[in-house]
Structure 1
Amino acid sequence: MLARIRRLFRQFFSKSRTINNEPLNQVSLIVIILIDIFILINVFAGLDNISRWHMSPSQAYPCYSEWNNYRTQTTKDKDYEIIRVSLSNLNNPPLFKQNYQQIEEEHLGKVAEICLSYADSKDKIYNSVNQQTLKIINEKQAKISTLEQSNRNIRAQYDSTILEKIAGQPRQQSINIVGAEKAKQELDKNTRNISTFAQEISNLKNQLLAKPESVNFIAFLKDEVKFRAVEKGYKQALFWYPSIQFGFQSIFLLPLIIVALLIHKFAGARGYGLISLISWHLLVIFFIPLILKIFEFLQIGVIFKFLFDIISALFGGLLFLVSYVYILLIPLIGFVIIKFLQKIVFNTKIQAANRVQKSCCLKCAKKIRHHDIHCPHCGYNQYIECPNCHNFTYKHLPYCKECGYSQESSPL
């Protein structure tokens, strides 16, 4: 097995550095490598773009995150806060429903109908009266902040004036703007104003929350049935999204692999060495991201979820066993892939049969004459002696062309 793998590696590197069995010069090899890097970057860029073509769970259910955050909040003013967020953009209307529908135009898939209804309810909150109410609330809140900062400054100075009075320092020599006598008056006045503004803000908030559009939106948010439907859809989309991404990435890569493979076979059969070399490099480059995406899919896709659920059901919290399963599973998959390539794709006997029919060398696939014992291009011996009739017959073919004796057990 190891000898076979080493032989495959030697063939791989030989195929990547030769044209018509002649070594590629260093400058040409550098050019090929630069082309490989450029194409590989573009392949990954294309994979990234196509993987985002289908709507992600957050795009298909854009209301889920905000809705879920609202439900998990425990603050007293959470109803007002979500209304405030809906009105926060005072210059440009948010048009949430229009933004959700625009996602559909740019991606494959549909935004959930419940989220469109959610956005429609949210858009109704955005009107001139509610905007003006929020603006007044913000202005009063700013005044409260200013008064609170003024109080902090006065308290700091008040402490200093008390020390100055204890020390017997004359008032005209004090470094503080507000004297001890005035400090208490200013603090009391500011505190009363803060209390007044706070009460006004509370009344405005209650008015804002009492508006019919706000009441309907809050009722929508508190609807348990609707949220459960959104949550179920979101989690289902989250489960299938890696598989959908892998499917689109495969659709992007497979035509490239098939075209490169067909060109490589055609160029090899016609003796177009440079085209054969470039198509071989392209084939390798297209396979690299495919293999990486397969392993990535195995880690986060449906298969991972299936194994995770089985181990969770059988062994409870021993989820580290998933790693053990992958450690055993990945080499097994690699073994199956190698066997498939050996038996089907790169099967020596199948290749030999095709090349004999086309009068091509069994090794390099170049055109040769029917009676040539050795290939004039690579020097490979085309024949082996039949152990039964001792005549020459083709290598790698199952039966002798002279007597029909089975060659399966004869050395090649």
Structure 2
Amino acid sequence: MTFARSLGTVRAHLTQLNRQPLSRAALTIVLLLDAFVLSSIFDGLARHTAQLTQPDETVPARCRDIVLDRQWTPAGRLEQLGEVVNAHTAASVWQAQASRASPHPVCAPVVGAVDAVLADGALAKRFDDARALRRQSTDLRTQIERLKGSYDTALLEKIAGAEAPTRADTLGRELAAKTGALDEATGRLTQLEAAIGREAPVQALWQRIDAVQAADRERLRADLLQLETWYPVRRLGWELLFLAPLLGLFYAWNAASIRRGRAVQTLVSAHLLVVAFIPVLCKLLQLVYDVLPRHFLRQLMTLLESAHLVALWNYLAIAMAVAASLALIYVVQNKLFARDKLLARRIARGQCQDCGLALPPDSAFCPACGFGQFVPCPHCGQATHVHGRFCRECGQAMGRESTQ
């Protein structure tokens, strides 16, 4: 059996019942069933793969942030720790409860220390206050820089006699007030940071961070790369374990229904078989994307960003979408639904070659549209299909006049 004939058989099983086209009501019911089963399969896949240990459980995000992504120099380390606390406080409790795997040996002591910091509500409040003071200090510095320019200009105009003295005096007083406020905020921030630095959880965290050596970071980075590389493959294996029984069950049901001539069960089982195959295709594509193009696309985006040409990515995406659409339309229209293939399917199914309605046996004309189904063969003179490529009696190729 050729591929085209197999495809035609599958299409008939999906769209016909007792060799008749499905009614709209029946098609709606089948499509609703397809949608429900498909959503249930994807929900089951999510629940099934949730049992699999993820890289984030072995190397938590807060460990990556602290050990791999940041450089903990003495200057500004409290400010960085404040950013860590702000970024991970909301998720730390959920992550601690959801994680089923022991952290990486390099991460375990650091994660324990940072969790102690995150769990201290009073300490978290101090970090919030320090962040607010830093923001206030930054705003004051910006305002002071603007005022300095205006004050210098007004002072020069005052000396030259081109400006009233009151404006320069007003700007001077405002500048002095802002400078005093900045000094006060800076002093409060210094005292607050000193108090935070004396906290036992913070000191314990510094000890854990300082104990991490360069070799430990390289080992953690290598292990994380291995986890992220193999996790998609393991996830696909778990997903196939979930999908394989469904595919086997639906295939066996479909084969038995076809063998026993049960039209309704053939229709439903064929749809379910296709529905069960859709997640397989999606997960295979996801694996290919996770393993290969993601790293390539990341490097490409980095290159485009460095060259300030990010817009090229949008143009490329649009061009790829247009090209893929053109190719898909060509394949669907010219390969699957070409007129010669459509006519061949209608002849094989005993349908009218013009309107597609199922014909009574040995009908010379269509009872719906009146189209004549047969013409004399130019070679043997026997009646053969109007749009047949070859005579059904002698097997000779039909002339152009009989296939128009």
TM-score range, shorter chain: 0.5 to 0.7
**C-alpha distance in 1, partners of 2:163/2:287?**
79
In the TM superposition, what are the counterparts of 1:204-215 in structure 2 within 5 Å?
A: 204-215=192-203
1:24 to 15, 18, 21: 21
**C-alpha distance in 2, partners of 1:294/1:300?**
10
1:125 to 117, 123, 127: 117
State the AA in 1 paired with 2:283. K
Aligned to 2:101: 110
Are the counterparts in 1 of residues 65 and 84 from structure 2 also a CA contact under 8 Å? no
Q: For residues 103-150 of structure 1, what are the alpha-carbon distances to aligned partners after superposition, in whole Å with 9 as ceiling and x for unaligned?
A: 13xxxx514154453332113335466456546545654653564455
Aligned to 2:66: 67
**C-alpha distance in 2, partners of 1:188/1:251?**
72
In the TM superposition, what are the counterparts of 1:279-318 in structure 2 within 5 Å?
A: 279-298=269-288, 300=290
Aligned to 2:96: 101
What is the aligned-residue RMSD (CA, Å)? 4.0
Aligned to 2:207: 219
Q: Please state if 1:4 is matched with 2:27.
A: no
Are the counterparts in 2 of residues 261 and 283 from structure 1 also a CA contact under 8 Å? yes
Are the counterparts in 1 of residues 63 and 110 from structure 2 also a CA contact under 8 Å? no
Q: Please state if 1:144 is matched with 2:137.
A: yes
Identity %: 16
The alpha-carbon deviation at position 186 of structure 1 amounts to 5.0
Aligned to 2:54: 56
Cα distance change on mapping 1:94 and 1:42 into 2, 3 Å = closer
2:266 to 256, 266, 276: 276
Aligned to 1:80: 78
Q: For residues 247-269 of structure 1, what are the alpha-carbon distances to aligned partners after superposition, in whole Å with 9 as ceiling and x for unaligned?
A: 12112211111221222233334
Aligned to 2:252: 262
The alpha-carbon deviation at position 83 of structure 1 amounts to 2.6
Aligned to 2:242: 252
Gaps of 5+ in 2: 296-360, 362-404
**C-alpha distance in 1, partners of 2:283/2:126?**
53
The alpha-carbon deviation at position 237 of structure 1 amounts to 1.7
Q: Please state if 1:240 is matched with 2:230.
A: yes
Are the counterparts in 2 of residues 161 and 180 from structure 1 also a CA contact under 8 Å? yes
The alpha-carbon deviation at position 156 of structure 1 amounts to 5.5
**C-alpha distance in 2, partners of 1:185/1:53?**
65
Are the counterparts in 2 of residues 100 and 116 from structure 1 also a CA contact under 8 Å? no
Q: For residues 78-125 of structure 1, what are the alpha-carbon distances to aligned partners after superposition, in whole Å with 9 as ceiling and x for unaligned?
A: 421233235549xx97693x4333113xxxx51415445333211333
Residue 112 of structure 1 aligns to a residue whose secondary structure is: coil
Cα distance change on mapping 1:170 and 1:25 into 2, 3 Å = closer
Tell me the TM-score normalised to structure 1 length: 0.56
- For these two proteins, the number of residue pairs brought into alignment is 288
**C-alpha distance in 1, partners of 2:98/2:217?**
21
The alpha-carbon deviation at position 202 of structure 1 amounts to 3.4
**C-alpha distance in 2, partners of 1:93/1:123?**
9
Gaps of 5+ in 1: 172-177, 306-377, 379-412
The alpha-carbon deviation at position 242 of structure 1 amounts to 0.7
**C-alpha distance in 2, partners of 1:283/1:125?**
53
